Chain A
């Protein structure tokens, strides 16, 4: 925007919308307009009836622009409702991004406060605060940043290859880097055990079932072979074997991955990185079974499956080392069925629970039983002993409660666990891990294939997703997401990311450790921390953690937030824009009633509110202050809600020490559709 905006702090235009006249019963628009016009800094006030209508909106915006206003206060309903009309109108009058501020007089005033005087009083207070904020606004420019269109995929198994192929078809150059020497991965070794992928899904055992079994195995082999073939011949895909990841620096659009392959070091640059390097690994056997020839894991069975002679009786064990999931159950059930049907083995399958929650698995389970597999569900672990060609099992029969012993010739310990991939843990990689070390944190907003860092994706086993078809879908979903990110080779970004003031930064690196999205790096040349705009998700966490107060977020500066708090707030609610804010809107839609003393302040995340804002609100007369945001562990920025909760606990203790009732500060958690919970919090 023109530099004149900066100088002219008086050109605030206030637009009020009475929603086709429907709000007039609860709000005195004349009084509101008069009060607004009298405020310092306000150059024009316009009451409109249809801000959400292209014509009405343009008229109103033009009217205030004609009076020289370059900053706007929009008092209406929710922004998303009138944005389609507002954005083109602002363009027409050349009011740039960042120079408008919004407040809700419909869902937060007229619809929830029955007393017109009280509703009008609150609307007036909100307008006052908004004008104070508007004066502080700076225009936000947009900047184009180039994005590297090449993609790096870590891994070389089926899902890694499928991701690569899909991206190559979409026009990206892809490097597949695997720690193993060749393509294929660990699933290739157990390729015969995917019986549930049988495409008939039939649960009855017709006499063709032996054939079907072989056909399914053949089909899986074919998928694997065809994929490898296609990858080898695709000129857009390069494979690097024996590649060990050393570090992953840079960020979205410009990652640099450092590898060593053998003695050599090499760097690969990419705009996006997909982690498809997860594998399943068998648990080590208990000590007394280690090294016994009659005891093996599923991979061992796969090797011996086609041998001439095979034991006549087999016991397969699940859930001994840890609760097993669908894929291991699928492998174990297929193995059991094959041994029983083709090898005429006596097969006992011991498990705590049979996991069949994937299409085709229940049918496989049924076929296995029909083939004669005995399913033994246990509560207490069976005791297993092996000597020579004999395995003795002692277990408690569930029905009779009696202790029974069995002898078989072979024991298969099927339990496996996730092994998400090597080299991901290096601290500089800034990857937040999930349970079991998965390369994806356990947060629903990362569904399906996002990682904490923008530009980083997690596929299949690396994120703990082991089911064959779902993992293939991960591969395609990752390709689609990367395509959306990199297709144009550039990104246009408003410059509203967190910004570090190099003069204040003392390089304590608190922000670098705080940022959940790995968006902060050290700028060694300028001796300061620096934020990557494309990687920053605008949560504001870093701004509250920096001990030197060196970081500001342009749309939520400390000054702006102070303005938001207003004067003499009664009940200040810092409302996360992802949950509490829409929940309040929903309460309005439901015409819920609550006290007009409640003032909502919109924040990007609970983690954006710190001691300063809380104390300011209390200083300005708030009787109590509530932080309302997402449920813990549901934060879109992963940890913001937890930060908020910890901070509130600390502050309460501090307040109590200082002789102020700590109970005046509270925190609450809800989702965007829990308007009932919102009401509980503001009514208490």
Chain B
């Protein structure tokens, strides 16, 4: 438990603009605290903002819409000051009774979001296509500018976008800023890194076009509301999901890219996607290669029973995946029941990748002097509800602390709010 500070908490620094950070920022802002909200990217959203709805005939409770809604609410919450393209660079003990003095570094955003009306004129005129709209469901038409691509970054003259803008929202004079702030509490909500299946090699990701990751599938669902093959854009007729890719590995000690814990979200999203695929095209066959199917959601029993009726579940870890003819993918797996190696052909293989600690989390933990667990997640998970950072008034929320789904992340973020409001 944190020790109670003498001074009530008035001002809170929230690091990370994913669903965890958004929940904390919105709740605390509404409760009347001053929130400095920091996101390293030019827009908030995190992983969940790029995911898709998995509803079949009914909502399948993936919670992505809830995340969208809460992210939006945080953008409109009172007393929340959002700093995009910003990072925490230093944290020292504070003055005047504040717990910490922090230094924030803000790179130029160029497009001033509070002025922009989202008309899209700049997007249309940029010759390098470096202005684009990201997560329009959250941000409307307000675009972001990708500086490395911009002509001005390469010492060429160009001001087409600024000229096109009817409201002078493009400000090339915006400097890089270092700001010092006194804050009473810090919430770290910097999220996770989805497991990247490339280095694992065996599953052919990045080599065989019709092997995609669960994250790719999420992005497809978000963008086109259906899952198709990369090779020809067609709807697959035979789909395989491979569970625990990068998670629950027995070889984590000699394969640093693997992890030896359950990522807790992949069984859920995979089966929901599978249901969605079969709802859209009922004659699609789905095969799931798995070790154990994790229990999720309130109505798991009947959901899983329904899945077992229309899908094939194979308890096996594929030994080899190779490209077949006409974009097909051939999976060789050990059939536990028969003890032999079997082969099966699919049109599309989806790797159910899990959640890893973000590589930059370690540096952040060093800066804040936070406790980090064995696997690289922030905070120590013991018998308390929240991960313990062993630093006064520094809290951890969301997947930077441990793998969890959107619902659990929201619950944890609200619990962090309670800890802070107790001292407010």
Interface positions, chain B 289-309, Cβ under 8 Å from A, are 292-302, 304
Q: Does B262 contact A (CB under 8 A)?
A: yes
Q: How far is the CA of A234 from the CA of B55 in the complex (A)?
A: 47
Closest-CB distance, B411 to chain A (whole angstroms): 4
Closest-CB distance, A457 to chain B (whole angstroms): 11
Q: With A170-B422, A444-B65 in contact, do A631 and B58 touch (Cβ < 8 Å)?
A: yes
Q: How far is the CA of A166 from the CA of B421 in the complex (A)?
A: 10
Closest-CB distance, A465 to chain B (whole angstroms): 8
Name the prevailing secondary structure of the B interface residues.
Answer: loop
Q: How far is the CA of A204 from the CA of B102 in the complex (A)?
A: 38
A356-B298 in contact (CB<8A): no
Q: Does A590 contact B (CB under 8 A)?
A: yes
Q: How far is the CA of A353 from the CA of B57 in the complex (A)?
A: 27
Q: Does A434 contact B (CB under 8 A)?
A: yes
Q: With A477-B418, A481-B414 in contact, do A19 and B31 touch (Cβ < 8 Å)?
A: no
User: Which one of B299, B402, B406, B411 has the highest number of Cβ atoms from chain A below 10 Å of its Cβ?
Assistant: B411
Q: CB within 8 A of A353: which of B293, B373, B384, B422? A: B293
A359-B403 in contact (CB<8A): yes
Task: Report A-chain residues with C-beta under 8 Å of the C-beta of B337.
Answer: 398-399, 401
Task: Report A-chain residues with C-beta under 8 Å of the C-beta of B167.
Answer: 20, 50
Q: Does A275 contact B (CB under 8 A)?
A: no
Which stretch from B132-140, B188-196, B321-329 is at the chain A interface? Answer: B132-140
Q: With A399-B339, A474-B411, A582-B137 in contact, do A358 and B298 touch (Cβ < 8 Å)?
A: no
Interface positions, chain B 344-367, Cβ under 8 Å from A, are none
Q: How far is the CA of A324 from the CA of B30 in the complex (A)?
A: 39
A398-B336 in contact (CB<8A): yes
Which stretch from A181-189, A194-202, A424-432 is at the chain B interface? Answer: A194-202
Number of interface residues of A (CB under 8 A): 96
Closest-CB distance, A403 to chain B (whole angstroms): 14
A447-B63 in contact (CB<8A): yes
Contact with A along B43-84 (1 / 0, CB 8 A): 000000000010101110101111011000000100000000
Q: CB within 8 A of B383: which of A199, A399, A440, A447? A: A199
Q: How far is the CA of A590 from the CA of B132 in the complex (A)?
A: 11
Closest-CB distance, A435 to chain B (whole angstroms): 4
Interface positions, chain B 269-301, Cβ under 8 Å from A, are 292-301
Interface positions, chain B 136-170, Cβ under 8 Å from A, are 136-137, 140-141, 166-167
Which stretch from A37-45, A129-137, A565-573, A669-677 is at the chain B interface? Answer: A669-677
Task: Report A-chain residues with C-beta under 8 Å of the C-beta of B58.
Answer: 631-634
A473-B121 in contact (CB<8A): no
B383-A363 in contact (CB<8A): no
Q: How far is the CA of A169 from the CA of B381 in the complex (A)?
A: 24
Q: CB within 8 A of B421: which of A194, A366, A436, A483? A: A483
Task: Report A-chain residues with C-beta under 8 Å of the C-beta of B237.
Answer: none
Q: How far is the CA of A477 from the CA of B417 in the complex (A)?
A: 8
Task: Report A-chain residues with C-beta under 8 Å of the C-beta of B382.
Answer: 197-199, 219
Interface positions, chain B 89-124, Cβ under 8 Å from A, are 117-121
B224-A355 in contact (CB<8A): no
Q: With A353-B293, A355-B292 in contact, do A633 and B31 touch (Cβ < 8 Å)?
A: no
Interface positions, chain A 359-388, Cβ under 8 Å from B, are 359-363, 366, 377
Number of interface residues of B (CB under 8 A): 81
Q: Does B27 contact A (CB under 8 A)?
A: yes
Q: How far is the CA of A221 from the CA of B186 in the complex (A)?
A: 30
Q: Does B267 contact A (CB under 8 A)?
A: yes
Task: Report A-chain residues with C-beta under 8 Å of the C-beta of B121.
Answer: 22
Task: Report B-chain residues with C-beta under 8 Å of the C-beta of A353.
Answer: 292-295
Q: How far is the CA of A80 from the CA of B120 in the complex (A)?
A: 19
Interface positions, chain A 411-447, Cβ under 8 Å from B, are 434-436, 438, 440, 442, 444-445, 447
B294-A674 in contact (CB<8A): no
Q: CB within 8 A of A323: which of B166, B304, B415? A: B304
Closest-CB distance, A401 to chain B (whole angstroms): 6
Q: CB within 8 A of B27: which of A222, A355, A401, A484? A: A484
Q: Does B125 contact A (CB under 8 A)?
A: no
Q: Does B180 contact A (CB under 8 A)?
A: no
B137-A464 in contact (CB<8A): no
Task: Report A-chain residues with C-beta under 8 Å of the C-beta of B302.
Answer: 435
Q: CB within 8 A of B411: which of A20, A200, A477? A: A477
A199-B292 in contact (CB<8A): no
A362-B261 in contact (CB<8A): yes
Q: Does A123 contact B (CB under 8 A)?
A: no
B65-A673 in contact (CB<8A): yes
Q: Does A96 contact B (CB under 8 A)?
A: no
A631-B381 in contact (CB<8A): no
* Chain A residue at smallest Cβ distance from B133: A589
Q: CB within 8 A of A197: which of B63, B225, B383? A: B383
Closest-CB distance, B384 to chain A (whole angstroms): 7
Q: CB within 8 A of B65: which of A322, A438, A671? A: A671
* Chain A residue at smallest Cβ distance from B416: A476
B262-A362 in contact (CB<8A): yes
Task: Report A-chain residues with C-beta under 8 Å of the C-beta of B9.
Answer: none
Task: Report B-chain residues with C-beta under 8 Å of the C-beta of A449.
Answer: 411, 414
B386-A473 in contact (CB<8A): yes
Q: How far is the CA of A631 from the CA of B56 in the complex (A)?
A: 9
B402-A359 in contact (CB<8A): yes
A671-B53 in contact (CB<8A): yes
Q: Does A616 contact B (CB under 8 A)?
A: no
Task: Report A-chain residues with C-beta under 8 Å of the C-beta of B68.
Answer: 671-673
A672-B59 in contact (CB<8A): no
Interface positions, chain A 195-243, Cβ under 8 Å from B, are 197-203, 216, 219-220, 222-223
* Chain B residue at smallest Cβ distance from A587: B136
A473-B411 in contact (CB<8A): yes
Q: CB within 8 A of A473: which of B55, B136, B412? A: B412
Q: With A201-B373, A435-B302 in contact, do A356 and B292 touch (Cβ < 8 Å)?
A: yes
Q: Does A12 contact B (CB under 8 A)?
A: no
B31-A361 in contact (CB<8A): no
User: Which one of B383, B388, B402 has the highest number of Cβ atoms from chain A below 10 Å of its Cβ?
Assistant: B383
* Chain A residue at smallest Cβ distance from B268: A357
Task: Report A-chain residues with C-beta under 8 Å of the C-beta of B65.
Answer: 444, 634, 671-673
B59-A21 in contact (CB<8A): no
B415-A589 in contact (CB<8A): no
Q: Does A472 contact B (CB under 8 A)?
A: yes
A442-B224 in contact (CB<8A): no
Interface positions, chain B 220-235, Cβ under 8 Å from A, are 222, 224-225
Interface positions, chain B 379-424, Cβ under 8 Å from A, are 380-386, 388, 402-404, 406-408, 410-412, 414-419, 421-422
Q: CB within 8 A of A81: which of B57, B140, B293? A: B140
Interface positions, chain A 39-96, Cβ under 8 Å from B, are 50, 52, 77-78, 80-81
Task: Report A-chain residues with C-beta under 8 Å of the C-beta of B384.
Answer: 223, 469, 472
Residue contacts A-B, CB under 8 angstroms, 19 given: A22-B117, A197-B381, A198-B382, A203-B374, A353-B293, A354-B292, A377-B292, A442-B299, A444-B407, A470-B385, A476-B385, A480-B414, A585-B140, A591-B120, A631-B55, A634-B65, A672-B68, A672-B69, A676-B224
Supplied contacts A20-B119, A448-B410, 16 more A-B pairs, CB within 8 Å:
A20-B166, A20-B167, A50-B167, A166-B422, A170-B422, A323-B304, A359-B404, A399-B336, A444-B407, A447-B407, A449-B411, A473-B414, A476-B415, A480-B417, A632-B57, A674-B53
Q: Which 8 A-B pairs have the closest CB atoms?
A: A472-B385, A199-B382, A634-B59, A477-B414, A476-B415, A476-B418, A448-B411, A673-B137
Q: Which residues of B contact A (CB under 8 A)?
A: 27, 30-31, 53, 55, 57-59, 61, 63-66, 68-69, 76, 117-121, 133, 136-137, 140-141, 166-167, 222, 224-225, 248, 260-262, 264, 267, 292-302, 304, 315, 336-337, 339, 373-375, 380-386, 388, 402-404, 406-408, 410-412, 414-419, 421-422
Q: Which residues of A contact B (CB under 8 A)?
A: 19-22, 50, 52, 77-78, 80-81, 162, 166, 169-170, 194, 197-203, 216, 219-220, 222-223, 322-326, 353-363, 366, 377, 398-401, 434-436, 438, 440, 442, 444-445, 447-449, 464, 468-477, 479-481, 483-484, 487, 582, 585-586, 589-591, 630-634, 669-674, 676-677
